[in-house]
Structure 1
Amino acid sequence: MNQTPYILVLFYSRHGSVNEMAKHIARGVNKVNDIEVKIRQVPDVSDSTKVASPAIPEEGAPYCTLDELAECTGLAIGSPSYFGSMAAPLKHFIDQTSTLWLTGRLIDKPACGFTSASTMHGGQEQCIHSMMTPLLHHGMVWVGLPYRNKELINTATGGTPYGASHLANNTNETTLTEDEKALCEAQGKRIAEFALQLKK
């Protein structure tokens, strides 16, 4: 039995804004017929030997498995920007994907990235680059946001051609602007369309 193609929206969110972005990415995916969406998060990691997170999250999306990543038709990956790089929990998850690299499970599948930072120059674009790099090593095809999305020109907050972003006024700010929401949904729709085209 053939599985319905799906976009995996995979993220780490510490204060909630990346989680909110993931929901809008998923809404964009849902605008495209013949493809589904799975929203998954990664658990925290610890700097000691203690267990950092329970096996099942107390709230929000389920944790992602390597099988879910391997079987996706396309990937939207998100993280807060920490000093211009993805958060350690997401990097830790990606570092466990060498078996997928060895078997070529992600080759020619489209991927995109999204991020949030609490300052205008908090490294949003560089954070997206940090998520892009290992996915290019996996042979994935990066899908950005074209300027036909007028919100890229109009926005005074988040939004980049490399992928959707959110500018939080403070660390706990999770409310997206209308431009940020529109760009997230445009990105979700675009990755879904590319996934179906590349699957043919």
Structure 2
Amino acid sequence: MADGGFNTAQSGNSAEFQRRASDPWMQPELFRGVLARRFFAFLIDLLVLSIPVILGMIFIAIFGVITLGLGWALFWLVSPASLIWAIVYYGVTLGGRHSATIGMRAMGLEMRTWHGEPSYFVLAAMHAILFWISVSMFTPLILLISLFNNRRRMLHDMLLGTVIINNSDLATVAEPHGSY
């Protein structure tokens, strides 16, 4: 190692920085099919998120019948509990060891920071919150922004400095292409 074992991405070596920043021109395989995979991963995650919410609503409905209608007052908890559940789900899964939700893992995707590091809980939770805010404020048409950049990043990805990549191709990309 020419750098004595130090991390050259932080010391200013631009070739190492570009390789770690997931350059779509040098590593196009990291971005192949990401948008389609992201869509299906989102659907899988919606299913995973909705199952506990539906089970909770069924429990409240049955509890309301048993308590002659008094238990139905608990329905007001469904919205805040769903919001907390979604933030915790995204924070734990995206901020976890795999940097991917269950849907993203099924589709072979993972989230990285701009510099290539794995995600962490706060970044992952903010990623989910900014996604829902941007889609709510700007309509789902805001997602079309990903069609006009080479990293296939959406608005919330750009604001947070994250990128979604294929993790199935990471083994082939780990070694730099050519000699530097």
Q: TM-score scaled to structure 2, two decimals? A: 0.27
* TM-score with structure 1 setting the length: 0.25
**Greater fraction of residues in strand:** 1
More helix by share: 2
Structure showing greater radius of gyration is 2
